[in-house]
Structure 1
Amino acid sequence: MTIGSNLSLRLAAILLISFILVQLSIAAVILRPSGDAGKSYGLPRPNEVAAIAGSIERAPSGQREALLEALDSGLYSLRLEKRLPARWRSSNELGDLARLYQSASQGRPVSVDGRRPRLSRWIGDAARPARFLAPIRVAIRLRNGDILVLTSQPSDDLRTYLQSRAIIGALGALTLLGVLMLAVRQTTGPLRALARGVRQFADDLDAPDLPVAGPREVHQVATAFNDMKAQIRTLLAERTRLLGAIAHDLRTYLTRLRLRAEFIEDAAHRERAIRDLSEMTALVNDTLFLADRESAPPARPEHVLLGPALREIADAHAELGDQVLLVLPPEDLTISATPLAMRRVLDNLIANGLRHGTCVTVAAHDRGDAIDIIVEDDGPGVPDEALSRLGLPFQRLDPSRSRETGGAGLGLAIVRALAARDRAEIVFEQRVPNGLRAILRYPRARMIDTASDGEEVNSVRGAESHVR
């Protein structure tokens, strides 16, 4: 997940960058060069330094320490030394500053030095306030021989105060950022719920409406989405009713035509007419089933032992003379599925394999996170570019619509629809050296819900008439 792809992180980054830019702007204003030589370094002015030196000279020796402690409480620090400290490497502009202090010192010797700023190459040697990392030091020899040293760094008391306030400020800033992050998350929460609702609606037309909450804009989006869902459900329901009415009327006319076909004297023409009418009836039933699957109640799967279930399906095909080989799975291998839907899916896959090959093999494997039921045939297979089209309604490799060669292309579409209702998926692969492999992948079995009377609910409406 990147900052650009997540709205919460993007808003948080904008707030954090804005906060940093504000602090940098404040620092730039504070640290800009000043024309006042003394104050620009956080030092007292030259006449103030002379007054401090005179006060210490006039004070009795026993009171000088107390006087220094009283004066040592600002943005500069004071101390008395017996000898002149070792000189620092001075900046270029300190010669002018030394002359200013010397002219105001009333004849006292003055020494000014300081450390060169590390960023002087980019920011220059111009005087700047709060020069803590590259301090300026002014040393004045008093008339009693002591050295008064003033350094442009805060005194110990002020430094402790500033540190405590900095910690409080940092904690306050972090708390503010945390509150802002929480506010951003609460603001984008309805958007995440909207995304989940869209994905859920794509899988389940009966998904509950989105809660109408959040800011006004998100409130409007959720309302519009719920209205759109209601309109889509209405359109699908009308489509289903229309197809049901058409199918009902078509069945009536097909039944009449079927009866009239019996009066055709030519046996060959009669058989062809009856076969065409049967294919039309099957096509109408398959189309109606696909149209009706969205309006069916939610699937309520059961725990199904694969061993007995697959053996029953294989035995049923063996009784019809089909070559179906079963590789028995472990006895305790279980899936969560609707039994009738699973049987119809496997019957369609086996029938499809036998239609194009001579033998079909059925096996099951535990993948850990899912269980695969594999149906393989020894037919010619399909072109690689056609694998993605398998299972789409009315998509067939054979351009004909004959039931002998596969019908109207709805068999595998019905397989996908039935599997999807049990949260399973169908994967088609090429079989080596030839043939097609269909993988029916079920998620690992979960506890299933039961109806209030304790009976399992079958979710596949009208599927009994479609089992082949």
Structure 2
Amino acid sequence: MTIGSNLSLRLAAILLVGFIALQILVVAVALPSSDDARRPYNLPRPEEAAAIAAALDRAPLRERAGLVDALEGGGYSVALSPARPAPERGSGTLRDVERRYDAAMPGRQVEVDGRRGRIGRLIGPTARPARFFAPIRIVIPLHQGGVLLFTNRPSNSALGYLRRRAVMGALGGLVLLVALMVAVRQTTRPLSQLSQGVRRFAGNLDTPDLPIAGPREVRALAAAFNDMKAQIRALMGERTRVLAAIAHDLRTYLTRLRLRAEYIDDVGHRSRAIADLDEMTALLNDTLLLADRDGAPPNEPERVGVADALAAIVGAHLELAEPVTLMHVPADLAIAATPLSLRRILDNLIANAVRHGNAVTVAAHARGTTVDIVVEDDGPGVPSAALAGLGTPFHRLDPSRDRETGGAGLGLAIVRALASRDRAEVLFAQAAGTGLRVTIRYPSAGN
């Protein structure tokens, strides 16, 4: 799951970026800044520096440290050094600024140095927070020994205030950010419930309506979905009722035709007519079953022992002398399924496999939290390009209309429909040889 694919994460990322940008803006505004041409780089004016140096010259040596501490607290720092410090790495002499301080303090040999890298060239002499990374320093020798240092970095007391302010701002911002993220989560939760409701509705038309909660737009969307779901459910129910009425009338006529077919004198014509009527009846029953899969509420799956269920189903086909082999199935293997649906699914798959192959194998094995039931035959198989179309109603690979070969194309569609009602997945693949392998992946019922 990426930030771009999740609405909550995307909104949280936008809030986080905005919070960081706000903090940077606060820092830029809060830190000292001066556009006074007489105070280059936020340093003291030349006459101020001269007055401070003169005051230190007049003060006793033991009082100099206290006087320097008293001068601290502004946008620049003041310090004493017993000897002239070496220039910092990468620094250079600032001749134009140095001449201004020399003019205010003749005879002291003032030096002004600082880093003149890319940052320094970009921001120029104006005091900006970026100047912390390219500091400017004034070195003023004192008459009684030692040197006075001015640096355009805030004093310790100013830095302490800025740190406290930054910590309070960061903590307040984090609290605000957490509150906003919780609010975003509460806002997007109804959307997650809506997507889950849509998924449930795809498998069961009788899913409960979505709760009408959240912002006005989300409530309107949930209400529209509930209305759409009710209309679709009504349409599906009407469709099933119409098909049931048609089927009832058709069964009446088919029964009459079946009785009248018995009076056909020609044995060949009579048998073919009866076969056609039986085929029409089977096709009608398959169509009704397929149409009713969404109209009726699904049965609640129950725990089904796979070994016993497969033994009973395969045994019924063996009684008909069909070439079906049941592989070993662990006795403790169980699935969550509807027994009648499971029998109908396997009957259809085995009948389809026997129709196209000479040998059919049925197997089952556990696969993590699911159980695979596999029906495989040794028939001609299905082209790889046609596997995706299997299970589509009235889709037949054989162009024949004979149910013994091509059929009506509803057998695998019924398998897929019944499996979906049990929350199972149907997978079609080529068998190891030339046949077809159909896998029904059921949720495991555990122990």
| SS of match in other structure, 1:183 | helix
CA contact (8 A) 1:71 1:78 kept: yes
Which residue in the other structure is 1:430 paired with? 430
The amino acid of 1:230's aligned partner reads A
Q: Separation in 2 of the partners of 1:82 and 1:312?
A: 102
CA contact (8 A) 1:90 1:113 kept: no
Cα deviation code 1:276-308 (max 9, x no counterpart): 222112111111111111122233222222222
Alignment: residue pair count: 446
Cα deviation code 1:315-352 (max 9, x no counterpart): 21122121211212122222222222111111111111
Which residue in the other structure is 1:115 paired with? 114
Which residue in the other structure is 1:385 paired with? 385
Which residue in the other structure is 1:177 paired with? 177
Question: Which has the higher mean CA deviation after the structures are superposed, 65-74 or 23-32?
Answer: 23-32
Q: Separation in 1 of the partners of 2:78 and 2:192?
A: 60
Query: Given the superposition, is the C-alpha separation of residues 122 and 426 from structure 1 closer, same or farther in structure 2, using an over 3 Å criterion?
Result: farther
Indicate yes or no: 2:235 matched with 1:240.
no
Query: Given the superposition, is the C-alpha separation of residues 436 and 79 from structure 1 closer, same or farther in structure 2, using an over 3 Å criterion?
Result: closer
Which residue in the other structure is 1:286 paired with? 286
Which residue in the other structure is 1:296 paired with? 296
The amino acid of 2:128's aligned partner reads P
Query: Given the superposition, is the C-alpha separation of residues 64 and 299 from structure 1 closer, same or farther in structure 2, using an over 3 Å criterion?
Result: same
CA contact (8 A) 1:355 1:406 kept: no
Which residue in the other structure is 1:71 paired with? 71
CA contact (8 A) 2:40 2:125 kept: no
Show the 5 A alignment for 1:385-404. 385-404=385-404
Indicate yes or no: 2:137 matched with 1:137.
yes
* CA-CA distance at 1:24 after TM superposition: 4.9
Cα deviation code 1:69-104 (max 9, x no counterpart): 221122222233343333346866822212222223
CA contact (8 A) 1:39 1:129 kept: no
* CA-CA distance at 1:275 after TM superposition: 2.0
* CA-CA distance at 1:152 after TM superposition: 1.6
Indicate yes or no: 2:266 matched with 1:266.
yes
Which residue in the other structure is 1:50 paired with? 50
* CA-CA distance at 1:25 after TM superposition: 5.4
Q: Separation in 1 of the partners of 2:336 and 2:136?
A: 80
Query: Given the superposition, is the C-alpha separation of residues 96 and 27 from structure 1 closer, same or farther in structure 2, using an over 3 Å criterion?
Result: farther
Q: Separation in 2 of the partners of 1:32 and 1:77?
A: 12
The amino acid of 2:315's aligned partner reads D
Question: Which has the higher mean CA deviation after the structures are superposed, 86-95 or 165-174?
Answer: 86-95
Question: Which has the higher mean CA deviation after the structures are superposed, 288-297 or 155-164?
Answer: 155-164
Show the 5 A alignment for 1:269-348. 269-348=269-348
* CA-CA distance at 1:373 after TM superposition: 1.6
* CA-CA distance at 1:111 after TM superposition: 1.6
Which residue in the other structure is 1:219 paired with? 219
Which residue in the other structure is 1:465 paired with? none
Which residue in the other structure is 2:412 paired with? 412
Q: Separation in 1 of the partners of 2:82 and 2:434?
A: 101
Query: Given the superposition, is the C-alpha separation of residues 187 and 241 from structure 1 closer, same or farther in structure 2, using an over 3 Å criterion?
Result: same
CA contact (8 A) 2:132 2:153 kept: yes
Indicate yes or no: 2:350 matched with 1:350.
yes
Q: Separation in 2 of the partners of 1:411 and 1:195?
A: 32
| SS of match in other structure, 2:73 | coil
Q: Separation in 1 of the partners of 2:396 and 2:81?
A: 100
Query: Given the superposition, is the C-alpha separation of residues 193 and 42 from structure 1 closer, same or farther in structure 2, using an over 3 Å criterion?
Result: same
Which residue in the other structure is 1:103 paired with? 103
Question: Which has the higher mean CA deviation after the structures are superposed, 208-217 or 86-95?
Answer: 86-95
Question: Which has the higher mean CA deviation after the structures are superposed, 233-242 or 39-48?
Answer: 39-48
Question: Which has the higher mean CA deviation after the structures are superposed, 156-165 or 228-237?
Answer: 156-165
Query: Given the superposition, is the C-alpha separation of residues 258 and 40 from structure 1 closer, same or farther in structure 2, using an over 3 Å criterion?
Result: farther
* CA-CA distance at 1:110 after TM superposition: 4.5
| SS of match in other structure, 1:375 | strand
CA contact (8 A) 1:108 1:143 kept: no
The amino acid of 1:128's aligned partner reads A
| SS of match in other structure, 2:442 | strand
CA contact (8 A) 1:187 1:215 kept: yes
* CA-CA distance at 1:247 after TM superposition: 1.0
| SS of match in other structure, 1:238 | helix
What runs of 5+ residues in structure 2 fail to find an aligned partner? none
CA contact (8 A) 1:97 1:112 kept: no
TM-score when normalising by structure 2: 0.90
Which residue in the other structure is 1:18 paired with? 18
The amino acid of 2:378's aligned partner reads D
Percent identity, please.
59
Q: Separation in 2 of the partners of 1:211 and 1:110?
A: 82
| SS of match in other structure, 1:405 | coil
* CA-CA distance at 1:239 after TM superposition: 0.7
CA contact (8 A) 2:41 2:125 kept: no
Q: Separation in 2 of the partners of 1:393 and 1:202?
A: 18
Question: Which has the higher mean CA deviation after the structures are superposed, 166-175 or 186-195?
Answer: 166-175
Which residue in the other structure is 1:363 paired with? 363
| SS of match in other structure, 2:293 | helix
The amino acid of 2:430's aligned partner reads Q
| SS of match in other structure, 2:330 | coil
Which residue in the other structure is 1:191 paired with? 191
Q: Separation in 2 of the partners of 1:88 and 1:352?
A: 89
Question: Which has the higher mean CA deviation after the structures are superposed, 429-438 or 145-154?
Answer: 145-154
Q: Separation in 1 of the partners of 2:423 and 2:231?
A: 25
Which residue in the other structure is 2:256 paired with? 256
Q: Separation in 2 of the partners of 1:53 and 1:344?
A: 103
Q: Separation in 2 of the partners of 1:122 and 1:51?
A: 30
* CA-CA distance at 1:236 after TM superposition: 0.6
Query: Given the superposition, is the C-alpha separation of residues 375 and 61 from structure 1 closer, same or farther in structure 2, using an over 3 Å criterion?
Result: closer
